């Protein structure tokens, strides 16, 4: 169980500029084994929130608790997957997946056995001795996911991991991630800009406000599980379309200055 209680984060201004409040009074409970997705306008503090849970960013007020223990920095029970995978370009797929285990002092035979297991899980068996530069973007992201899973974290934190991929690859990896999560039931906190992705993957969706980011709504996703294999059938359902439309309405209404008025549109057309 992850709890955020009154979390606030302020970044000090530079060169005489005002301080920036990134997060304001975040209160949130994330259940064990839950797949939670977080969505909100650009710059609303989603990544800052994820980094606070990871212990990579100190908070200025409130508490982040994991199983009742305050987060004071990174911990072995958490692993993070970034959009920029940052694989070791000079090492093989096997070595990259085993890297976190090596840092934790796991003996070579054991860490390679575990690395092979998770390479198989993400569908890269046979690619163990390839170098990152020989892989496509989607395959590299699979390696990053396997590396995070190999340390068997209680909490997997994912910051727009599919954001830079083409649509076809993104869809395939969404299906793979759902399949893997349904097999492992690791607690996942997943940041995305995509409303469709938030619904397809999540048990619940946290909607954040414009900066300073706060939680404005938590939307349950009552779509049946398991969803792994072919999530496109979920994406065509009436429930999926209704939740996606609701999210768009909330996000659009939070950013009225970005929506052209009828008068502005009339001026352009004339």
Separation CA 132–CA 90 (nearest Å):
8
Q: Which residues are CB-neighbours of 25 under 8 A, at least 6 positions away? A: 6, 7, 8, 62, 214
Separation CA 94–CA 106 (nearest Å):
14
For residue 227, what are the CA distances in angstroms to 82, 166, 174, 204, 235? Answer: 24, 21, 10, 14, 10
Percentage, residues of the chain above pLDDT 70: 91
Band of residue 266 on the pLDDT scale cut at 50, 70, 90:
low
Selected residue with higher pLDDT from 180 and 221: 221
Structural domains for the chain? 33-57+73-247 (3.40.50.300)
User: At 160, is the secondary structure helix, strand, or coil?
Assistant: coil
Task: Match 């849970």 to its residue by tokens.
Answer: 53
The answer, yes or no, to whether residue 33 has pLDDT greater than 80, is yes
The answer, yes or no, to whether residue 270 has pLDDT greater than 60, is no
Q: What is the mean pLDDT of residues 239-249?
A: 92
The answer, yes or no, to whether residue 24 has pLDDT greater than 90, is yes
Residue 146, both tokens: 């396997």
The answer, yes or no, to whether residue 139 has pLDDT greater than 70, is yes
| pLDDT tens digit sequence for 171-215 | 888 888 888 888 888 999 999 999 999 999 999 999 999 989 999
For residue 261, what are the CA distances in angstroms to 233, 253, 257, 258, 265? Answer: 36, 13, 9, 9, 6
Q: Considering only 49-53, 54-58, 120-124, which range has the smallest mean pLDDT?
A: 120-124
Cβ pair 11, 45 in contact under 8 A? no
Q: What is the mean pLDDT of residues 241-270?
A: 74
Selected residue with higher pLDDT from 234 and 95: 95
């Amino acid at each position: 169980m992850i709890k955020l209680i009154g979390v606030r984060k302020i970044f000090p201004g530079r060169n005489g500029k005002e301080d920036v409040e990134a997060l304001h009074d975040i209160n949130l409970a994330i259940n064990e084994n839950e797949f939670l997705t977080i969505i909100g306008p650009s710059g609303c503090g989603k990544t800052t929130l994820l980094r606070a849970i990871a212990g990579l960013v100190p908070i200025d007020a409130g508490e982040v608790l994991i199983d009742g223990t305050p987060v004071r920095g990174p911990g072995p029970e958490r692993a993070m997957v970034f959009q920029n995978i940052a694989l070791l370009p000079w090492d093989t797929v096997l070595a990259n997946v085993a890297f976190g285990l090596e840092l934790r002092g796991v003996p070579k035979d054991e860490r390679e056995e575990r690395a092979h297991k998770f390479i198989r899980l993400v569908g890269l068996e046979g690619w163990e001795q390839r170098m990152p530069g020989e892989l496509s973007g989607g395959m590299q992201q699979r390696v990053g996911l396997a590396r995070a899973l190999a340390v068997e974290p209680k909490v997997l934190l994912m910051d727009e991991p599919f954001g830079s991929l083409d649509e076809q690859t993104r869809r395939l990896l969404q299906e793979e991630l759902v399949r893997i999560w349904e097999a492992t039931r690791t607690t996942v906190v997943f940041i995305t800009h995509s409303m469709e992705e938030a619904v397809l993957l999540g048990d619940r969706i946290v909607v954040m406000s414009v900066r300073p980011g706060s939680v404005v709504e938590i939307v349950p996703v009552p779509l049946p599980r398991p969803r792994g294999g072919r999530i496109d059938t979920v994406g065509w359902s009436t429930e999926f379309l209704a939740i996606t439309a609701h999210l768009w309405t909330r996000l659009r209404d939070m950013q009225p200055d970005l929506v052209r008025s009828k008068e502005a549109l009339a001026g352009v057309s004339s």
